Amino acid sequence: MMRGVPSEPASGPTSDDDLDLALQAALSGAELGLRYFAHVRELARDHKLDGSVVTEADLAVEERVRAAVLAARPDDAFLGEETGELGSGRRRWILDGIDGTLVFVEGDDRWQSLIALEEDGEVIVGVAIVPAQGQVWYAARGRGAWVADVVAGHVTGARRLRVGAPPESLRSARTAVLPPVAMVPERYRAEVDRIVGAVDVADWRVHGALLVAAGELDLAVQVGGKVWDYAPLSLIVTEAGGVFGGDHGQSHPVTGAGLFGCDERTTEQARAALVGSPGA
């Protein structure tokens, strides 16, 4: 087993091999992502139909991760933000080579690469690696959530993640808003303004969902996300004891706004504020 991966027996449907494979693929993608990041100012930027920024790095990292997984799991299906669908079946890997391209192209080290494994519609493995900070966050269903360091291409020093105690009120909930408030596209401005007016907005050094899992924040709210943005993070947060759902209470898969909370009450109150419910 890979150094740093928890060794207790799996109690969920996933195997150690799946988690190890996801971590190995994440490390491979991270190495390539860091090479692009070293020269990010020189990268050409393009825009997709939805207006989001994309670069050569997004496609290259996703392709590398998919190739690494495909070599070991040729019969599994894939869904990638840039590379689309490949195959079908009970097991599907969900990939996002560069999550946070908006900050990546600005030389901000908070970008990450995301990998999830879905089986029969349920996420059973989730990995979020933050290459420029040398950390990887991961979970396997029924086995908890963890954060570890990445040193010389190896995962080491795993620490168990656990959400913190609920805040006294929504107003005092330490909350990350994603994308960064200053970068939020105009089409999501009304949602963001509502949530910003209802919580204690906090800075985030990595994706806010990871900080909720670590007990450093109470809540993270992301707008404009897709299944590849949420799948791995949702498992990491819920395996740490937290809550995940969409803006209307839907669970995986979620498209649009997603909420990650330390407890059900705080998450439900934030959801009401986000959608402008009279009871918020």
Q: Across all residues in the chain, what is the average pLDDT?
A: 92
Are the CB atoms for 180 and 43 separated by under 8 Å? no
- pLDDT (0 to 100) of residue 278: 62
* Spatial CB neighbours of 130, under 8 Å, sequence gap ≥ 6: 109, 110, 111, 112, 136, 137, 206
Q: How many other C-beta atoms can be found within 10 angstroms of the C-beta atom of residue 157?
A: 13
The mean pLDDT of 235-260, rounded to a whole number, is 96
CA atoms of 86 and 80, how far apart (whole Å): 9
Residue 87, pLDDT above cutoff 60: yes
- pLDDT (0 to 100) of residue 51: 66
Residue ranges of alpha helices (H) inside 129-263 are 189-196, 208-213, 227-239
The mean pLDDT of 192-219, rounded to a whole number, is 97
Alpha carbons within 13 A on the beta-carbon side of 232:
32
Amino acid letter for position 141:
R
Confidence of residue 277 (pLDDT cuts 50, 70, 90): confident
The three-state secondary structure class of 271 is helix
Q: Domains, the chain, ranges and CATH?
A: 16-160 (3.30.540.10), 170-275 (3.40.190.80)
* Spatial CB neighbours of 236, under 8 Å, sequence gap ≥ 6: 126, 128, 137, 138, 139, 145, 161, 209, 210, 213
Are the CB atoms for 91 and 119 separated by under 8 Å? yes
Residue 139, pLDDT above cutoff 90: yes
Phi, psi of 135 (to 5 degrees): -135, 150
Residue 4, pLDDT above cutoff 70: no
Question: DSSP label at 89?
Answer: S
Residue 148, pLDDT above cutoff 80: yes
Confidence of residue 8 (pLDDT cuts 50, 70, 90): very low
* Spatial CB neighbours of 189, under 8 Å, sequence gap ≥ 6: none
In DSSP terms, 85 is beta-bridged to 79
CA atoms of 271 and 167, how far apart (whole Å): 16
In DSSP terms, 159 is beta-bridged to 147
Question: 2-31: buried (b, 16+ CB within 10 Å) or exposed (e) per residue?
Answer: bebbbeeebebebebebbbbbbbbbbbbbe
Confidence of residue 85 (pLDDT cuts 50, 70, 90): very high
Residue 86, pLDDT above cutoff 60: yes
CA atoms of 139 and 82, how far apart (whole Å): 24
Residue 1, pLDDT above cutoff 90: no
Greatest alpha-carbon pair distance for the chain in Å reads 52
Amino acid letter for position 230:
Y
- pLDDT (0 to 100) of residue 14: 44
- pLDDT (0 to 100) of residue 279: 55
